[in-house]
Amino acid sequence: MKFAQIIDFETERIDEVRDLMRSYEEQARSQGRTGTPDSRTLLKDRANPNRYLAVVEFDSYEAAMANSKAPETNELAQQLSALMTRPPVYTDCDVQDRKTLG
């Protein structure tokens, strides 16, 4: 079953957050790491301009947990935390239904 994690965070340095996330993704691809996210969506709260939600999808819960234990992921989390104005809130979800419309 597909798995998604929603990361709710606030930052005034979103460009640096984006750069770190892209660098992590490129490194994972170049190293051929398995169990990495399938997709990532970054949402900005219209009512609170410094609040963002990152929706990260994985093949499975097990893949997500293996990814979270990787040293590279831990390093990324530490770097991202330094850019945030409050600790992130994580919500773990099983994907029940997903469809691309259009």
Instruction: State both tokens at 49.
Output: 């301009």
Q: What is the rounded distance in angstroms from the CA atom of residue 91 to the CA atom of residue 102?
A: 28
- Sheet containing 51-58: give its strands across: 39-44, 51-58, 3-10, 89-94
Q: What is the rounded distance in angstroms from the CA atom of residue 97 to the CA atom of residue 77?
A: 28
pTM listed for this prediction: 0.89
Residue 5 has what pLDDT?
97
In the chain, the amino acid numbered 18 is R
Helix (H, G, I), strand (E, B) or coil at 35: coil
Block mean pLDDT (10 aa), the chain, length 102: 97 97 89 86 97 96 93 93 96 93 86
What residues contact 91, with CB distance under 8 A and at least 6 apart?
5, 6, 8
